[in-house]
Structure 1
Amino acid sequence: MAQTTANRELVVFTDRDFCISGDTLWLKAYVPKELQRYGNIVHLQLESQTGNLIASRAVKCNNTQAEGFIAVPDSLQTGLYFVHAFFNAQRSNGVLKCTGRSVYVYNRFEEAIERLPVVEDKAAVVTPESADNQIDIDLEDKNYRRRDEVKGSINTGDNEFVYMVASARIIEPFSHKNSGFMRFGMKDRNTGIPPFPEEDGVLISGSLSNRETGDAANSLVLLTVTGNETYFDYYYPDSTGLFHFFLPDARGNANLILQPLAVGDKQFDIKLTPNFMSAVEQLKFDSTFVNPKQAEIIENSIKGTFFNKLFRGVSIRSKDDFEMPNPYGMPFYGQPDNHIVPELFIDLPNFKEISRELLIGFQYRDRNDEVTFRMLDYGQDRFFDTEPLRLINGIPVFKNSFFQDLQSTDIASIDLVKSERIFGDLRFKGVLMVSLNDKSNSWLAQQPNVFQLKVPCIEFPKQANYNPIAEGRTQPDTRWQFLNEVVDSNEKWPFSFQLSDVKGDLEIKVEAITKSGKLYRTSKIISVQ
């Protein structure tokens, strides 16, 4: 009985019914316990009417809740868009069901909006049932003016709700009427991505091909995560050229270096596969005229967003922050036999002098304009007959010319491993690791078969800021959103927020879901004069 009545769908809540291009759309997702076997990484995505992926985020869920944001592109066209969520491991389920949201986007450069699309497939629209008898929104006052403080409480009493979200916003009539919850049937459009349960990490998938012929290639692909000199991995692509890497505990935007091992002058191409799900069937849409009153409010909201950014700044800035703890507890090649810090010694002009003076057990050979390296094998008291694994800032290097002109002042440290080391089924005849003071890795520019890619991983936790600016009443306040929080299951949940300079009808709303997946809603509308 419990199996049949439990909800098995992710349910997405948005902090608004519409947004302006360039805005930040804040999302919350209810994660039923029955779905937590799929991992703890939820993918949130924004999709167009035609099924094209606009933007996506990977967020870590906490028990039954996941929350994050989507930065709406500044150039996004006016129209109707859809937000939904999924676990990567749900790809094996065939058609995936999710309760998401429709959201209108108004392009901030558009002078006049006359017509907008509406969903014609009413069967896809989910209308929440009334929760007026179960949830009470109690306000201290009845009349409000601009910049007043709204105080009240949400009384939930004894009910069956497992998740509730309270929000408050000025109503934009068109989106308020025509947007809302929608039930999506989604399907994996990228069949090459395996249904891997992402637990505290993200899966990166891609394909390798021969640049000249375009055919799939299966040469070994090496992965290095820059900014983390100890992380290294590899993958043997299958016959179709597909490869996959899992990045544990990677947060923020990762800089990846992918290197297919080439024989001779063979050139490769690498293409990463975006991780998203798309609607199984395209919805049917109609378009309707926007009446003059609605058009005026939309125009005012666009202007208000401009002033909000002018005085408050951008709420989410694009950052290159990245964190990824060392999963090995040591360098992937093990503890080095020697760790040399050149700044403790006399300055040396090139790597040949550095190897002679500082690197005991390392051999630098320069014959016929060709440089070769050899590492001493401590176990056999002889030098290996092949070159060691060479690394600069943790990145494998296959041309010794990169080392020749390095001065001791360029180098932070050098690690030497003077024995055979095994990583998976790879075998290294010693290891030379050079860590530079300069971590930009500009020396990789224009190198063949070296692909530098920026990949978003787990999003850093961030919270929306709905509060007025600290300067107070000396600057205009054009906020439209004031509240978006998960309601505690306590019988009485207090809330408060300060209104802005925007006049109009304000809706304070509570949306709730039961264990069986039924949606409920109650709201209270006040007039801001």
Structure 2
Amino acid sequence: MEVSILNLIFGLIKMIRINYITTMVLLLLLTKYIVVSGQGQIAMPTAERLQVFTDRELYIAGEEVFFTAYSISNDLPQDISLILYAEIISPEGKRTSGGKFLIENKMAHGSLLIPRDNITGNYYLRVYTKYMRNIGPWSYAYCGIRIVNPYREDIITGNDTVLLPTQTGEEESSLTITTDKKGYHPRELIQVTILGSGNQPGKTNRLSLAVAPEMASEENTLQLPDQDRRLQQMDFYPETRGISITGKLIDSTGDNAISGARVNLSIIGQGRDFMAIQTDDSGRYFFSLPAYRGYRDLFLCAAKTSEVRPRILVDNDFCTSPIQLPSPVFILTPEERALAFQMAKNIRIQEVFNTEKPDETQTTEPDRAFYGKPSYVLYLDEYVLLPVLEEYFNELASMVKVRKRNGEKYFKVLGGRPEMGIYDPLVLIDWVAVDDPSKILAASPVNIDRIEMINEPYIKGDITFGGIISIISKNADFAGIDLPESGIFINYLFLNEPSQVPFKPSASANIPDTRNTVFWEPSLILDEDNKASISITAPDTPGRYTIVLKGIDPHGNYIYQRKVVEVVEN
């Protein structure tokens, strides 16, 4: 055990130059949990615990699964991890949908889209943090869901008879659900009141509330066997600053790790950025990325070295550890078949009558260089066209000179600071680092728009550069310059876009109100009187609907309350 602790500590020390904040958080964890007891035993640091709830349990392919997840690790500091990973998986662990969501105040919520071609069957929604991957998939939080695809005949079905138990709430819950009456007509307001007992108003505030068809609202929060959450090794570090990308740099000729080498990362296109980091003693690298949303193109490459041929490996951002969850026989009762048919019909009606235009006022990241205003800009079209780019640096009075070292040409940025004579400059082509000056100097200037220069030392991450030379092409095509051989392009998922909750009642009496989930509140807050009042418009589809309240009390206990109301035809 002592050896494991030492390995963790040495691993943290090696990571200090990669991520100072992450390292400090982990050292605090070790300080808190490495306690020598009277028997001489050492307690290992532990991973987080999560709980997840969904808006319902039965879905149609093409719908979104709305969820809310809570950290119930009362023994850990506030929000060790800032990123939640959510997936819809088959019982064999195959992912059909996935996303990344921001954790704030120990809570995250969002939605995952079920692919339209998803096969009918039993699935699971699971959530976890990257830090929890050190323990494995049995430490994650799961909800069981059923998905029906009325347009495909094939079904994923199993024959397991032993299933995971669902969570059970406290028999004497401190929360109650009341409505103003039991039956409602379409478009009538359903007045719902949530009331908590006790003399500490608002103390229980980790609650979610859903209203959906009764047979689509079965309890689906699974209770997995207790797992040892103590870390024996640290392969995945907590994302203390947001989205990250990690991996390893190896020698492609022998697969040996390359330590102390520089790895460059460029975000291409909107929100462009550049960052650099040095690999640790095991060849690992760790980048904390900006809080962008959606997919972005990344380019990673290793700095040129004459001794080895570097190859960049990138960790899968989602969990790939194998797991086999129970796969019961997929059966729908006649009543459930009728409900699934009605839900599928509701979706088609929504698609026909949905005339809302997407929000086109979304904020975008400023389209400016990460280094700010350049010290000098050279616009090539303002000068006579020269054969190669090198002649512009030689003929024009600029702050960049081309010199020779050991028979090879290199760039030197002139500046007044003494550090400029120590460090090499960062050379970019369309925000991608290029470490072979000969490729730049021999390039044709026809496709180059401008060259921006910074003549002061520039620090990026833990790397210091002797200025910046940034070459921008006219067509954002790297001007035909060959990129580093070790480079790889990745279309990488950052944070998911905020969920557009489609639970608003129809504004017009002429537009059918065919909501399958009538209401969803992922974060229900009780007021100072320990009370919450909600008005919900009854849908046009008659039937029995369940109001489901789920949550976690201040002691980490599971809360579950439900009440059934009926919508009858006029």
TM-score when scaled to structure 1? Answer: 0.77
Which residue is 2:545 aligned to? 506
Structure 1 residue 273 displacement after superposition: 1.9
The residue aligned with 1:522 is 561
Gaps in structure 2 of 5+ consecutive residues? 1-32, 34-46
Letter in 2 for 1:524: K
Partner amino acid, structure 2, of 1:61? I
Structure 1 position 514, deviation (Å): 2.0
User: Aligned in 2, Cα 1:313/1:456: closer, same or farther, shift over 3 Å?
Assistant: farther
Aligned position for 1:151: 191
Distance in 1 between residues matched to 2:400 and 2:322, nearest whole Å: 60
Structure-1 residue corresponding to 2:517:
481
Aligned-residue offset at 1:414: 1.1
Q: Matches of residues 199-348 of structure 1 in structure 2 within 5 Å?
A: 199-208=240-249, 220-226=262-268, 227-236=270-279, 239=282, 242-261=284-303, 270-277=312-319, 282-287=324-329, 289-312=331-354, 331=371, 338-340=375-377, 342=379, 346=382, 348=384
Give yes or no for the alignment of 1:168 onto 2:206.
no
Give the structure with the larger strand fraction.
1
Question: For residue 58 of structure 2, what is the amino acid of its counterpart?
Answer: F
The equivalent residue for 1:455 is 492
Cα distance in structure 1, aligned partners of 2:307 and 2:223: 53
Alignment check: 8 A CA contact 1:223 1:259 kept: yes
User: Contact 1:161/1:515 (CA < 8 Å) preserved in 2?
Assistant: yes
Cα 1:385–1:60, aligned 2, differ >3 Å: closer, same or farther? closer
Is residue 2:504 matched to residue 1:467?
yes
Q: Aligned-pair distance for 1:406?
A: 3.3
C-alpha deviations, 1:447-470, integer Å up to 9, x for none?
743211122223354452311355
Q: Mean alpha-carbon deviation: is it higher for 12-21 or for 73-82?
A: 73-82
Secondary structure at the aligned position of 1:38 is classed as coil
Aligned counterpart in structure 2 of residue 495 of structure 1, from 534, 539, 555 = 534
Answer yes or no: is the 8 Å Cα contact 2:262–2:277 preserved in 1.
yes
SS in 2 for 1:309: helix
- Once the two structures are TM-superposed, the CA of residue 119 in structure 1 deviates from its matched residue by 6.8
Q: CA deviation at 1:12?
A: 0.6
| Alpha-carbon offset, residue 52 of structure 1 | 2.9
Q: Is the 8 A contact 1:80 1:118 kept in 2?
A: no
Partner of 1:431 in structure 2?
A: 468
Aligned partner of 1:414 in structure 2 is: 452
**Counterparts in 2 of 1:54-133, with a 5 A limit?**
54-92=96-134, 97-111=139-153, 120-122=161-163, 124-130=165-171
Asked whether the 8 Å contact 1:150–1:496 carries over to 2, the reply is yes
* Residues in 1 aligned to 2:336 and 2:295: alpha-carbon distance in whole angstroms: 40
Q: Distance in 2 between matches of 1:518 and 1:325?
A: 47
Q: 1:465 to 1:217 in 2, by over 3 A?
A: same
Q: What amino acid is the match of 1:68? A: G
Q: Which residue in the other structure is 1:362 paired with?
A: 400
Partner of 1:182: 223
Q: Distance in 2 between matches of 1:391 and 1:231?
A: 9
What is the percent sequence identity of the aligned residues?
A: 19
Deviations 1:416-435 (A, max 9, x none): 43x77676775655531224
Q: Structure 2 counterpart of 1:273, which letter?
A: D
Using the alignment, how far apart are the partners of 2:130 and 2:376 within structure 1? 41
Q: In 2, distance between residues paired with 1:514 and 1:100? A: 19
Question: What is the deviation of 1:46?
Answer: 2.6
- Range 229-238 or range 514-523, more displaced: 229-238
Give the superposition deviation at 1:196.
1.9
**SS of equivalent to 1:147:** coil
- The answer on whether the counterparts of 2:410 and 2:437 sit within 8 Å (CA) in structure 1 is no
- Post-superposition Cα deviations, 1:164-209, rounded to whole Å, max 9, x if no partner, equal 21110123x3x54473433366799xx9973423223122122445
Secondary structure in 2 matching 1:481: coil
What secondary structure does 2:343 align onto?
A: helix
Asked if the contact 1:42–1:60 (Cα under 8 Å) also holds between the matched residues in 2, the reply is: yes
Q: Distance in 1 between matches of 2:416 and 2:90?
A: 62
> What is the SS of the residue equivalent to 1:231?
strand
Contact 1:17–1:180 (8 Å) recurs in 2 = no
- 2:92 paired with 1:50: yes
Find the aligned partners of 1:311 and 1:440 in 2 and give their Cα distance: 42
- Aligned-residue offset at 1:402: 5.0
Letter in 2 for 1:166: L
Q: 1:246 and 1:498 mapped to 2: Cα distance?
A: 44
Q: Residue type matched to 1:22 in 2? A: G
- Gap change, CA 1:157 and 1:410, over 3 Å in 2: same
The answer on whether the counterparts of 1:102 and 1:182 sit within 8 Å (CA) in structure 2 is: no
Q: What SS is found at the alignment partner of 2:49?
A: coil
Pair 1:296–1:123, CA change in 2 (3 A): closer
Structure 1 counterpart SS, 2:301: strand
RMSD: 4.6
Aligned in 2, Cα 1:73/1:288: closer, same or farther, shift over 3 Å? closer
Q: Whole-Å Cα distance in 2 between the matches of residues 170 and 316 of structure 1?
A: 28
* CA positional deviation for 1:519: 1.8
For each residue in 1:90-113, what CA deviation from the matched residue of structure 2 results, as whole angstroms up to 9, or x when unmatched? 445578645431111223532587
Count of residues paired in the alignment: 504
Change (3 A) 1:442 1:78: farther
